[in-house]
Amino acid sequence: MKELKTFADESSMDDVQAFVEEELSLLGCDPVFMNEISLVVEEVYINIIHYAYEDKGGDAVVRLDSDMSSKTLTLSFTDKGPEFNPLLREEPDIDEPADTRPIGGLGIFLVRKIMDECAYERKDGCNVLTIKKAWK
């Protein structure tokens, strides 16, 4: 398992993306898979920045693990923000016009659609979002 400890603010986004992309390259993942994961990482990490830490920044840990036998990638994101399970949010009505739809929820909706599994737990005073996806 690889781990990146970071201060979650806008300036660290590139470091987080580079960490994940480097590991995916080493695994030999195809560009489509890498783009999907990049989008998911951005959505989750931006949520940590904006919602867990209200744009003030705070500690975050990104963990990446791979199972070569099943070709499954596992990412987990940990923050020390207030307890919040994004998986409990109602899915947005994507058929409703964007200008009449309530703000929020689209990012986690995309994460759930792209990834094979998503799980949340509150552990040791931290939010932990774990997501998995198999690659070809």
pLDDT, tens digit only, all 136 positions of the chain: 999 999 999 999 999 999 999 999 999 999 999 999 999 999 999 999 999 999 999 999 999 999 999 999 999 999 999 999 999 977 655 666 656 555 555 789 899 999 999 999 999 999 999 999 999 7
- Note the pTM of the prediction, 2 decimals: 0.90
d(CA 72, CA 22): 16
Which secondary-structure segment (H or E) carries 118? Answer: strand 117-123
Q: Using alpha carbons, select from 63, 61, 76 the residue that is nearest to residue 5.
A: 61
Phi-psi label, residue 108: left if phi above 0, alpha if psi -120 to 50, beta otherwise: alpha
Contacts of residue 67, Cβ cutoff 8 Å, sequence gap at least 6:
74
Phi-psi label, residue 48: left if phi above 0, alpha if psi -120 to 50, beta otherwise: alpha
